[in-house]
Chains A and B, each alone.
Chain A
């Protein structure tokens, strides 16, 4: 295991418990998918791994996070990114709106500044040709898909070994999502970047992933190879919306309550 999360408990504002003992692991070179409903704690999990949870007034109560066998639980985000080369791409297209696209890439390279920066920028442009065209435009004026590509491009400027992607498909058209996921898959294959992908779009994510976890209300409830999860009855019903149980009419759907409980 390159990255392992062991029995993690996280609390916000000292009272709101979000993760109740999450354990999971990511292998080197793997593309791991985490799916789960809103409020399952997926974002909190990523924030905790990259050391940003205290910025959001959260606290790790129990458990540990290990990267390459060493604990990174008490490190600052900057250290984790610099020394362990783990980069977190926040949800909702984390780009700097008032900076140009090129300045955004430069800002992301700030922590590791060296003479390879121009070369890496060329590489980002080759993965995302659309960014080259936009490079002198303010990022706030780019479309949602372009912003998300920029965000991933920015994360590449930090030279990550592990990449945490938080719902990159948020608010994007299905075709754009597909293109984006193709590129994420390529990054994983060609550059050997280990990816941990948190998604609502279970179908697309499991399509490119190797292995997956299902999270629900702060716990991991299911684990398996991506292909198995795609076939799983419950995953199909709750996340893919194509369960083969009884067909429900709209009238039933309104009162439809989830009957299945995992635990």
Chain B
């Protein structure tokens, strides 16, 4: 198979993973908790969009923003109920809570939507690209473009607006932020909503590859190698980690699986993760702490 095709396909998928990673990194920076319920957030976000777009037949330009807002609101409510009461306490407690949250949400989704799969064809304009003997599918291109756009918007928000400054300040220290009058509780709510929206975009684009079931949540586990390879607290790291995981999958899928190792693609990112962590425990782009000597 053409090397360039493999690389570019890897990059396309990698952008979606990067967005997923961003969702985790934002929350980790702000509340120091790892959100293990990411897969369930992804499924809930995709289902919220599914209801608006496929059940209520709203036009895409309304259904997409409304679905994302709903996903953001959902994440904010979850934060308000489960994380906010623990503000100032040990982040490990919050991480454990997200584990419980994952079970609860998974069961709830199954209860409400059942275990069968929903066809998810968004009918976006066909932008399938053929370059020589290379082929990029329309869904992949859309997924990558929208993910990249969402990623860029989050970056702009964080680095160019005063709310972004307040979020970064609160992410560094909730106590200091509170002392200067930044409403840390509100900021955490905003961060979770933002994270929920990122994850929902990724969820919608991933569902668009085929169908949506409660098992789509498994994709959420991809976020773990993404953020650990890139560095838990680094936004740029999420981008690079996403691309690396995407490339890793594409290469393994193209060159190793044909040798008879079917499914190796799914575990390759974790092997890569182990190798990176052995060499750089903070991930490739984890914050190099400012040390005063």
Contact = CB atoms under 8 A, between A and B. Distances in A.
Interface string A154-175: 1101100000000000000000
A98 B290 CA distance: 8
A107 B179 contact: no
A41 to B, nearest CB: 18
A94 B290 contact: no
Interface of B: 87-89, 162-163, 165-166, 168-169, 172-183, 287, 290, 292
Contacts of A98: 168, 172, 287, 290
A87 B180 CA distance: 7
Contact of B165 (A56, A82, A106): A106
A110 B179 CA distance: 12
Given A110-B162, A138-B290, A99 B172 contact: yes
Interface of A: 50, 52, 55-57, 77-78, 81-82, 87-90, 94-99, 103-104, 106-113, 138, 140-141, 154-155, 157-158
A103 B165 contact: yes
B88 A57 contact: yes
Nearest to A80: B181
Contacts of A55: 87-88, 174-175, 178
A88 B179 contact: yes
Nearest to B182: A110
A92 B175 CA distance: 13
Q: Which has the most chain A C-beta neighbours within 10 Å: B168, B172, B181, B292?
A: B181
Contacts of B178: 52, 55, 77-78
Main secondary structure of the interface of B (DSSP, over half): helix
Nearest to A100: B165
Contacts of A158: 180-181
A110 B88 contact: no
A112 B172 contact: no
B88 A87 contact: no
A108 B88 contact: no
Given A55-B87, A98-B290, A158-B180, A107 B175 contact: no
A90 B181 CA distance: 12
26 contacts: A52-B175, A55-B87, A77-B179, A78-B182, A81-B180, A87-B179, A89-B179, A90-B176, A90-B179, A94-B180, A97-B172, A98-B168, A98-B287, A98-B290, A99-B169, A99-B172, A103-B168, A104-B169, A106-B165, A107-B165, A107-B168, A107-B169, A110-B182, A140-B290, A141-B290, A155-B180
A136 to B, nearest CB: 14
Contacts of A88: 179
Q: Which has the most chain A C-beta neighbours within 10 Å: B87, B163, B176?
A: B176
Given A81-B180, A88-B179, A94-B176, 4 more contacts: A52-B175, A78-B182, A96-B172, A107-B166
B88 A56 contact: yes
A50 B180 CA distance: 11
A157 B169 CA distance: 15
Contacts of A113: 162
Contacts of B168: 96, 98-99, 103, 107
A157 B162 CA distance: 14
Contacts of B179: 50, 52, 77, 87-90, 94
A98 B287 CA distance: 10
Contacts of B163: 110
A99 B172 CA distance: 9
A166 to B, nearest CB: 10
A113 B181 CA distance: 11
A154 B290 contact: no
A108 B290 contact: no
